[in-house]
Structure 1
Amino acid sequence: MKRLAVIAAAILTATALSIAPAAAHATLQSSNPAENSVLDAAPDEVTLTFNQTVSQNFATVTVIGSDGMDWAASDPVVDGGTVTVDLDGLGAGGEYTIGYRVVSADGHPITGSIPFQVTPSSPTSAAPAAPATTETTPTAVEETDSGFPLWTIGAVVAVVGAAGVLFALRKRSN
């Protein structure tokens, strides 16, 4: 009976540990335009690159200008971990914010925003533009995880299973 209890505890522990890797969420690795970049011309599209595949379903990308208009001209196209949306030009210049919401492979929604600026260059100024694509840091992108963490389910299963095994062993020895 004790061997059975040890085997049951091992199975419960393995189950709880196998749930943890599935709880990894997608994170934004880079964007084009990059966060806080200053561009001298409006881009034709916005590209977001995530560290893992995201779902085509429910992917949303907006590009909101300081005028309050959404300049996205197409639905987002998802190719693995890359999300692209075409732009309908952009205003004359100003502040823009890319807003996104995608769903990780594990089913959790990931949201964030990326500000950038378009400053059309004048004939008298020849200021170089910032690079179009740079890596973003995890603290620079606002990410929200509104899902329930799966590791807690594994922990509860392990604790309840271990308690059940201990109860059965205690009952047997009396």
Structure 2
Amino acid sequence: MTARPGRLRAALLTVFVAAALAATPGVGLAAGDLTATDPPDGAALDAPPSAVTLTFSRRPDVDESHVSVRNDAGQDRTAGALAGDDGNSLRMPVALKPGGDYTIAFHVVFADGSDLTGIKRFSVGTGAPPAPLSAEVAQRTRESVQQRHSGHGPDWIRSSMLMLNGLVLVGVVVLLVVRRPRKTTTGARWVLREPEDESDTRG
């Protein structure tokens, strides 16, 4: 049985679209989110913690993620390498001093290729919650952590996937512009036959 051209084209389009979605990082999946921080956002601590921990709704890629902890003078107070656990958390060692406000800035890449950027605040030894950052300072902080993340170098896997996605989309466009073959109608032949002579047979 031979497949009709229309059905074959529809099947090929389905394959190409599915491949395009698979080649695009994070497509079709809900975005990852920050679910908890330690210290909590807005916390007023009496003593400085030895590390900050961020927990997300999905598993982060430790090698592609970046977390910084800074005081209000902009000094980085991290004291070690970022580490993950067997779940969805990242842990960054810090060396903090009492009597100041601190900002946690993060740019996290998840295992599916999607990412998340954000900032959280806490204070140590001030007896009051941290003062909120101005919109300008908050934006600069986000941009700074993203730039530091980009220093990890190019992600060849994601670049290759994006290139494959582009090729797949080109294939979809080509299939869409291909004209369907026109149907031809073959006229039916009519054959005229002379009526047969009928004779009565009488016994």
TM range (shorter): 0.5 to 0.7
Length-normalised TM-score, structure 2 = 0.57
CA contact (8 A) 1:9 1:162 kept: no
What pairs up with 1:48-87 in 2 under 5 angstroms?
48-79=54-85, 80-87=87-94
CA distance, structure 2, for counterparts of residue 73 and residue 6 of structure 1? 57
Q: Give deviations 1:138-166, integer Å, cap 9, x for gaps.
A: xxxx798x999x7xx58x82x96266246
Larger radius of gyration: 2
> Using the alignment, how far apart are the partners of 1:58 and 1:10 within structure 2?
33
Deviation at 1:43, TM superposition (A): 1.6
Flag the 1:81–1:167 CA change in 2: closer, same or farther, 3 A: same
- Residue 2 of structure 1 is matched in structure 2 by 6
1:68/1:7 Cα in 2 relative to 1: closer, same or farther (>3 Å)? closer
- Quick one: structure 1 residues 161 and 84, their matched pair in 2 at CA, closer, same or farther if it must change by over 3 Å? same
Structure number with the higher strand fraction is 1
Which amino acid in 2 is paired with 1:95? D
CA contact (8 A) 1:97 1:114 kept: yes
Tell me whether 1:173 sits opposite 2:182 in the alignment.
yes
User: Residue 172 of structure 2: which of 136, 161, 164 is its match?
Assistant: 161
Give the secondary-structure state (helix, strand or coil) at the position aligned to 1:2: helix
Instruction: From the superposition, tell whether residues 61 and 9 of structure 1 become closer, same or farther in structure 2 (CA, over 3 Å).
Output: closer
- 1:116 partner letter: F
- Cα deviation, residue 84, structure 1: 0.3
Alpha carbons of 1:30 and 1:162: their partners in 2 closer, same or farther (altered >3 Å)? Answer: same
Structure 2: distance between partners of 1:58 and 1:162: 34
Q: Distance in 2 between matches of 1:76 and 1:42?
A: 18
8 Å CA contact 1:26, 1:105 repeated in 2: no
SS at match of 2:32: coil
User: Contact 2:9–2:175 (CA<8 Å) still a contact in 1?
Assistant: no
TM-score of the superposed pair, with normalisation by structure 1: 0.65
Stretch of structure 1 that moved more, 92-101 or 54-63? 54-63
Identity of aligned residues (%): 31
Any stretches of 5+ residues in structure 1 without a counterpart? 122-126, 130-141
- Report how many aligned residue pairs link the two structures: 147
Asked which structure has the greater RCO (Cα within 8 Å, sep 6+), the reply is: 1
